[in-house]
Amino acid sequence: MLKEIQMDGLVFTKTPAGVEEIQLRRLRLHPRARSLLIMIDGCRSVFDLVSTLSGVGIGYEDQQHFQHLQIAGLIEQKADAIPVSMVPPVMEAPISEAVATTLMGDEDARFQALQKLYAEVAREHFPQRARAFQKQLNKADCLREYIRLGNEIIVALNQTQRAEHAAAFKARVKPLLR
């Protein structure tokens, strides 16, 4: 018998075997365990998943399915993850006077402010790709290109589990793109 442990704050992610099991259905998993396996995304905690799946009859007594999936090698605990429910809400940063002045200024000043902000974020979060990004940034000459580059930064930040940085970047750049 598995010992009962507190799992509410744990975050699990699928292993390659777990992804394969979803696709091929080789194991005879309990329907609730299969539902859990499908819902595990590496972002939501056990508490969030159980809360979400309570409508289909999965409750706290079913936490044993997490343990069985882990023992079977279909999921693994994500060590560095912060559950979405525990991430503090991102406060929108107030617009500084320099940015406010730039907003009222001409288009060239806006592009310079965007270029400075994008370069700063690229150097800080992606130092190995900063030079290539700077080349793209130097070629940007219209608002559409700055929006595309900003979206690339946001996607890259989200892919590296830096959602809070992506949200903060978006809040800082949004006034400049209006």
Specify the pLDDT at position 83: 46
Whether pTM exceeds 0.95: no
- Domain extent, residue 49, equals 12-86
Task: Report if residue 122 sits inside a domain.
Answer: yes
Specify the pLDDT at position 102: 46
Q: Which parts of the chain are beta strand (E)?
A: 12-14, 75-77
Q: Which residues of 137-175 are buried (b: 16+ CB within 10 A; e: fewer)?
A: beebeeeeebeebbeebbebbeeeeebebbbbbbebbeb
* 163 and 142 within one domain: yes
Specify the pLDDT at position 3: 39
Task: Report if residue 2 sits inside a domain.
Answer: no
* 69 and 19 within one domain: yes
Listed residues 86, 114, 138: the one ending a domain: 86
* 61 and 16 within one domain: yes
pLDDT per 10-residue tile (average), the chain, 178 residues: 54 89 86 84 82 71 78 82 48 50 64 86 84 85 84 84 82 82
Q: How many domains does the chain have?
A: 2
Specify the pLDDT at position 56: 67
